[in-house]
Structure 1
Amino acid sequence: MRYISTRGDAPALGFEDVLLTGLATDGGLYVPESLPHFSIEEIRSWRGLSYSELAFNVMHPFVDDAIPADDFRAMLEETYKEFAHQAVAPLVQLDTNEWVMELFRGPTLAFKDFALQLLGRLLDYVLEKRKQHVVIMGATSGDTGSAAIEGCRRCEHVDIFILHPHERVSEVQRRQMTTVLGDNIHNIAVRGNFDDCQRMVKESFGDQSFLGGKTQLAAVNSINWARIMAQIVYYFHASLALGGPDRSLAFSVPTGNFGDIFAGYLAKKMGLPISQLVIATNRNDILHRFMSGNRYEQHQLEHTLSPSMDIMVSSNFERLLFDLHGRDGALVKDLLERAQQGPVSIEDYRWRHARKLFDSDAVDDKLTCDTIREVFERNEYLLDPHTAIGVRAARNCRRDPAVPMVTLGTAHPAKFPDAIAESGLSIKPELPVHMADLFEREERCSVLENDLSAVQSFIADHWKHA
């Protein structure tokens, strides 16, 4: 399996190099040169498999011979046995043909665990094999940081630096990052927003001279192909649990950076019957404005009750644009350069092709709270604000009531007590037992100005071999 850049000017790489590289040298994102395709008969034969066995079948073609099959199987079993539910991603029914897939049963209570607990193991395996050290630099709008730190904290060949927007993540999200203490773990609170953090990461990957040639950066953000690869699996898992592949499913996906829903798009291209993908966003609705009206235009970023989606520059959207433009990297590069100057649209026939599969909706804080309250009053089931946005968008955009609609439950409600309180419910969601003492743990974090050179200097001074 070879991987190519969405901008067409970087060399094709194998899985190991893509795992360690993050952004391509031309500024693009890596995607597989070709996708594996599974027949309906083959997918049907996977009924009854454990989650880790299913994950092996779906992901092994992407890894190919980079990791021996038995080693990869063992890695997957170790990853998913740490989840706090035997089903790993259990499905909860809300109404007739309406479901929530709980993706928050991992160590840090968010869907990011599915990929990042595996990514840490993949990195350790490859770096040990190469006798190489890397510096992980990542940006988080809330959940990626804690999942990355948890996944990589035991890695012997890694220093990890996570940037988050100062005072713009929930307290639980912050503490999940800042209370994991280790010589190789560094949390940086940037006086800016998530897009500022993400921009610093991208620019640092583009020019790594601040590291003095002594190490290289590795990515944990969803620009890393391994993140997308791992997220494809749970679409197959949901389908097999609900009668697939002999019937089609629809999915509603709360998304800011487009990675989680892009995984669903790939699952369909790999042979899984999916009839509809709903892009569920908050007031930071650039993806909704594009999918509903073919206009890609950045607005001022707003702070909402769903902070993990407070993103205006959706990195993984580039991967979809690459496919919509016939995998022509030059066209994608030109479009994205023009998008930095002002609003852009794509050719109508390309946009209409995307609309065959995708719908979208933008849900504000009031509707988010209304949905949390309504679902609890009807079902005594508590949604976090991101999942509530997914449920509301699913109900607003649903094409066919006969097709099962699955909303991806992206985070545990205990991570967002302010949103629960704002919804008017008089209950306080409790943290799971393994996090019960979170608010008593010591925190460690460095607050830096919104300045690239300050952040790069901090990293250069603090990685362990500096």
Structure 2
Amino acid sequence: MRYISTRGEAPALGFEDVLLTGLATDGGLYVPESLPHFSLEEIRSWRGLPYAELAYKVMYPFVEDAIPADDFRKMLDETYSVFSHQAVAPLVQLDTNEWVMELFRGPTLAFKDFALQLLGRLLDYVLEKRNQHVVIMGATSGDTGSAAIEGCRRCEHVDIFILHPHQRVSEVQRRQMTTVQGDNIHNIAVKGNFDDCQRMVKESFGNQSFLGGKTQLAAVNSINWARIMAQIVYYFQASLALGGPDRSMAFSVPTGNFGDIFAGYLAKKMGLPISQLVIATNRNDILHRFMSGNKYEQHQLEHTLSPSMDIMVSSNFERLLFDLHGRDGAAVKALLENAAKGPVSIEDYRWKHARKLFDSDAVDDKTTCETIRDVYEQNEYLLDPHTAIGVRAARNCRRDSAVPMITLGTAHPAKFPDAIAESGLSVKPQLPAHMADLFEREERYTVLDNNVSEVQGFIAKHWKNA
């Protein structure tokens, strides 16, 4: 399988190169030249498979040119054996035909573990094969950083530099990153917001001269195709657990960077019956404003109780725009260049085509807290603020009560005690046993100004072979 850029000017690459490259040389994002498609009969035959085996069925077409089947199976078995629940992604019922899929049973208590635990193993495999070293540079709004560090910290051929917005992630999220010890792990707190961090990463991938030609950058953010690929699997898992593919499903997805919900879009294109995808956002609602009114316009970023969604530039949205424009890279490039200058819209028929599948909602902090409180009082089930936004958006946007609605539970509530307290509940979410001493561990991180040259200088000085 070959991979092409959403901007149409970069060379097509195989899986190994896409894994290591991140952004395409033309500034675009890589997507498969074509998608595998599974018949209903084939999907039906996967009922009852362990999660790792289902992951193999869904993902192997994307990597088969690069990784032998037995090696990939071994990676998947190792990846999902560290999750704390035998089902890996268990479903919890909230009401009639209403479910939460718990995607926080991995080692860092967030859905990012599904992809990043695998990504670390993929990188180790490919870099060992090539005898190559890379520098991972990533930006996090809270959860990607800890999952990336946990997934890649044992990689012998990798140095990791994770940027997070200083004082704009929860304390648990920060400590999960900054208490991991290792000479190859570097946490940078940038005096800015997530979009500033993400911009620095994109600029650095576009011009890697600060590394002196001695190594290259690799991406762990959801711009990396391997992240999206791994997230497709749990849509199939949820559907199969609830009677799919013989009936359609609806999903509500808390999202800021559009990667997690784009994986659901791909699952549908690959043959899984999905009737509705709900984009659930907070006050940083650029995706909701586009999907509800066909206007893509950046506003001032706001700090909320759901910090992992405090994002205004949704990188993965470009992948959807590429499809909506008939895979015309030049059109996507022109649209995004105009979007950097002011508000843009797409042709009405393209927008209406997207609306056949997608709905959206924006949920403020007050309503988020109300939802946390209401669901706990009704079910004694505690939601984190991101999942609460997903549940509220699902209830507000649901098209058909006969279709199962599944909200993706993206993080453990213990990561966001301030939001739980603000909801008025006296219950205090507890960290699981393997993190019980998190607040006693020594932290290591460096605070830097919101300046790309300063950040690049730090990386150039501190990577292993500098």
Q: If the TM-score is normalised by the length of the shorter chain, which range does it land in?
A: over 0.9
CA distance in 2, matches of 1:211, 1:90: 43
CA distance in 2, matches of 1:151, 1:461: 24
CA distance in 2, matches of 1:444, 1:181: 8
CA distance in 2, matches of 1:285, 1:160: 31
CA distance in 2, matches of 1:435, 1:398: 37
CA distance in 2, matches of 1:464, 1:93: 48
Deviation at 1:398, TM superposition (A): 0.1
CA distance in 2, matches of 1:50, 1:254: 26
CA distance in 1, matches of 2:358, 2:48: 30
CA distance in 1, matches of 2:10, 2:405: 39
CA distance in 1, matches of 2:464, 2:223: 25
TM-score scaled by length of structure 2: 1.00
% identical aligned pairs: 90
CA distance in 2, matches of 1:229, 1:63: 10
CA distance in 2, matches of 1:185, 1:297: 36
CA distance in 1, matches of 2:337, 2:253: 27
CA distance in 1, matches of 2:401, 2:427: 32
CA distance in 1, matches of 2:426, 2:8: 54
CA distance in 2, matches of 1:53, 1:245: 18
Residue segments in structure 1 that go unaligned for 5+ positions in a row: none
Residue segments in structure 2 that go unaligned for 5+ positions in a row: none
CA distance in 1, matches of 2:347, 2:396: 27
Residues 296-315 of structure 1: CA deviation (Å, up to 9, x unaligned): 00000000000000000000
CA distance in 2, matches of 1:181, 1:169: 20
Matched, 1:335 2:353: no
Deviation at 1:345, TM superposition (A): 0.1
Residues 430-464 of structure 1: CA deviation (Å, up to 9, x unaligned): 00000000000000000000000000000000000
Residues 330-383 of structure 1: CA deviation (Å, up to 9, x unaligned): 000000000000000000000000000000000000000000000000000000
CA distance in 1, matches of 2:212, 2:178: 27
Q: Secondary structure at the match of 1:314?
A: coil
Deviation at 1:227, TM superposition (A): 0.0
Alignment partner, residue 18 of structure 2: 18
Residues 408-450 of structure 1: CA deviation (Å, up to 9, x unaligned): 0000000000000000001110000000000000000000000
Deviation at 1:247, TM superposition (A): 0.2
Deviation at 1:214, TM superposition (A): 0.1
Deviation at 1:407, TM superposition (A): 0.0
Q: Secondary structure at the match of 1:174?
A: helix
Residues 80-101 of structure 1: CA deviation (Å, up to 9, x unaligned): 0000000000000000000000
CA distance in 2, matches of 1:316, 1:355: 18
Matched, 1:88 2:88: yes
CA distance in 2, matches of 1:48, 1:267: 18
Deviation at 1:102, TM superposition (A): 0.1
Q: Secondary structure at the match of 2:65?
A: helix
CA distance in 2, matches of 1:58, 1:243: 18
Q: Secondary structure at the match of 2:292?
A: helix
Deviation at 1:65, TM superposition (A): 2.3
CA distance in 1, matches of 2:78, 2:204: 32
Q: Secondary structure at the match of 2:19?
A: helix
CA distance in 2, matches of 1:181, 1:106: 19
Residues 126-163 of structure 1: CA deviation (Å, up to 9, x unaligned): 00000000000000000000000000000000000000
Q: Secondary structure at the match of 1:65?
A: coil
Q: Secondary structure at the match of 1:66?
A: coil
CA distance in 2, matches of 1:48, 1:440: 41
CA distance in 2, matches of 1:306, 1:177: 18
Deviation at 1:232, TM superposition (A): 0.1
CA distance in 1, matches of 2:9, 2:210: 24
Residues 56-101 of structure 1: CA deviation (Å, up to 9, x unaligned): 0000000012000000000000000000000000000000000000
Residues 182-236 of structure 1: CA deviation (Å, up to 9, x unaligned): 0000000000000000000000000000000000000000000000000000000
CA distance in 1, matches of 2:251, 2:147: 23
- Following TM superposition, the consecutive aligned residue runs of length 4 or more in structure 1 with deviations greater than 2 angstroms are none
CA distance in 1, matches of 2:19, 2:349: 34
CA distance in 1, matches of 2:86, 2:30: 33
Deviation at 1:255, TM superposition (A): 0.0
Matched, 1:118 2:125: no
CA distance in 2, matches of 1:384, 1:93: 16
Residues 167-190 of structure 1: CA deviation (Å, up to 9, x unaligned): 000000000000001000000000
Residues 230-281 of structure 1: CA deviation (Å, up to 9, x unaligned): 0000000000000000000000000000000000000000000000000000
CA distance in 1, matches of 2:36, 2:64: 11
CA distance in 2, matches of 1:181, 1:341: 42
Deviation at 1:290, TM superposition (A): 0.0
What is the aligned-residue RMSD (CA, Å)? 0.2
CA distance in 1, matches of 2:243, 2:142: 34
CA distance in 1, matches of 2:46, 2:426: 43
CA distance in 2, matches of 1:127, 1:354: 39
CA distance in 1, matches of 2:174, 2:452: 21
Q: Secondary structure at the match of 2:160?
A: strand
CA distance in 1, matches of 2:403, 2:157: 47
Q: Secondary structure at the match of 1:77?
A: helix
Q: Secondary structure at the match of 1:322?
A: helix
Alignment partner, residue 283 of structure 1: 283
CA distance in 2, matches of 1:321, 1:279: 15
CA distance in 1, matches of 2:182, 2:233: 31
Matched, 1:292 2:289: no
CA distance in 1, matches of 2:79, 2:340: 39
CA distance in 2, matches of 1:64, 1:248: 29
Alignment partner, residue 40 of structure 2: 40
CA distance in 1, matches of 2:65, 2:454: 41
CA distance in 2, matches of 1:74, 1:123: 14
**Where in structure 2 are the equivalents of 1:105-144 lying within 5 Å?**
105-144=105-144
CA distance in 1, matches of 2:209, 2:450: 20
Q: Secondary structure at the match of 2:232?
A: helix
CA distance in 1, matches of 2:428, 2:42: 45
Alignment partner, residue 302 of structure 1: 302
